Structure 1
Amino acid sequence: MSDDKRVGNVPERDDNYTHNIHRSNERSLDRRAFMKTVLGGVGLFAVSTLPWGTLAAKQLLAPGSGKYPRKKIVEAEAVKTGEAVEFFYPSDHEGALLVRVGEDEWRAYQNACTHLKCPVFWSTEKNELLCPCHHGKFDVMTGEPLAGPPRRALPEIELEIEGGSIYAIGVKPYET
């Protein structure tokens, strides 16, 4: 049989190169196609999250580089020793707590518990910062957790006293 007559004919069964090709099954998902699909999805995910990762890395590499507003909290004479005032800082959606711990001594913290972001309250009777969700307690002088599941300190708000008024001027970054 000459080569010209074989063109267009179905190959014989013993042809090792083409006997495993079945036209009805050629679009099924084999291992190679599956891996291409998975790697394409992973690549698409990586590229789509790149902007958020860049912003997070910038924040981690340069903590405290963001500017905080200077905000008046309260007149110093309006708060007695052992009392607290709730306010919002640095934005109108982030609650905070100012506590007068001494005659001329003040402490302020963001009042979202570092465990699950439940609100933290000041207990005048016990002189403690309390998280009622999981019985967390924080030291008013340092913001460090004393009891419960929280493991990190409350973020401390930097204060400034000027002309009898208390101002929030920044949030201290976490120390590792």
Structure 2
Amino acid sequence: MSEDNQKKTPAQGVPLNEDNYTHNIRKFHERKLDRRSFLKTMVGAAGVFAVSTLPWGAIAAKHLAEGSKRVYPERVIGSAADLPVGEALEFAYPGEHDTALLVRLGDGEYKAYHNACTHLKCPVFWDKAEGDLLCPCHHGVFDVRTGRPKAGPPRRPLPEIELAVKQGTIYATGVKRYET
């Protein structure tokens, strides 16, 4: 074979003796990713994602299976004498960063709900004039006696907080499980 017909490698600095227009592109160190390799990569990534969500699914299943067995701390909200009829008081329950709203409806009649709207978690406020709980973000309206939505985009009721009154002091004792 003569020297003119020999192919020289790109490592020698001379392009291959080819009759195409891509002779100046080095293809030797490129990664090959054909359709089959791409699909294998995607299936592998989906498998890793699925396996990584298993612990969270187990925690959720355990929480749903426990149901009403979940124990919440008893926490003092305030004095019944300090909250006039028709007024509301904001407090934190069950956690330090979980805000809630207590409304005194009458003598010895109290209702408390988490004050995060069930639509997009905007804060819910007490409207004394209308006697409803309002979400100003999307004009959601909740019934103060049941926590169920009356108007707006919310479809689920507000989570109700269980209360107890002992010797003139109002306590939060738990959170009612959501029932459809």
* 3-state SS of paired residue (1:62): helix
2:160: which partner in 1?
A: 156
In the TM superposition, what is the alpha-carbon distance from 1:104 to its structure 2 partner? 1.2
1:131: which partner in 2?
A: 135
2:32: which partner in 1?
A: 28
Match of 2:47 among 43, 49, 56: 43
Listed as ranges, the matches of 1:63-102 within 5 Å are 63-102=67-106
After superposition, the C-alpha distances for 1:51-103 in whole angstroms (9 at most, x for unaligned) are 11111121122223322110000111111111111101001101100011111
Matched, 1:111 2:118: no
TM-score, reference length from structure 1: 0.82
* 3-state SS of paired residue (1:85): strand
Match of 2:150 among 146, 153, 157: 146
Percent identity between matched residues is: 61
Whole-Å separation in 1 of the counterparts to 2:161 and 2:142: 15
* 3-state SS of paired residue (2:49): helix
- Number of equivalenced pairs: 154
2:24: which partner in 1?
A: none
Whole-Å separation in 1 of the counterparts to 2:112 and 2:172: 8
1:18: which partner in 2?
A: none
Amino acid aligned to 1:95: T
TM-score, reference length from structure 2: 0.80
Whole-Å separation in 1 of the counterparts to 2:166 and 2:70: 23
Amino acid aligned to 1:174: Y
Single out whichever of 142-151 and 65-74 deviates more from structure 2.
Answer: 65-74
Unaligned runs of 5+ in 1: 1-23
Which 4+ stretches in 1 moved above 6 angstroms?
none
Single out whichever of 109-118 and 49-58 deviates more from structure 2.
Answer: 49-58
Whole-Å separation in 2 of the counterparts to 1:95 and 1:174: 18
Single out whichever of 118-127 and 107-116 deviates more from structure 2.
Answer: 118-127
In the TM superposition, what is the alpha-carbon distance from 1:159 to its structure 2 partner? 0.3
In the TM superposition, what is the alpha-carbon distance from 1:124 to its structure 2 partner? 1.4
Unaligned runs of 5+ in 2: 1-27
Whole-Å separation in 1 of the counterparts to 2:77 and 2:31: 68
Amino acid aligned to 2:80: A
* 3-state SS of paired residue (1:137): strand
Matched, 1:52 2:56: yes
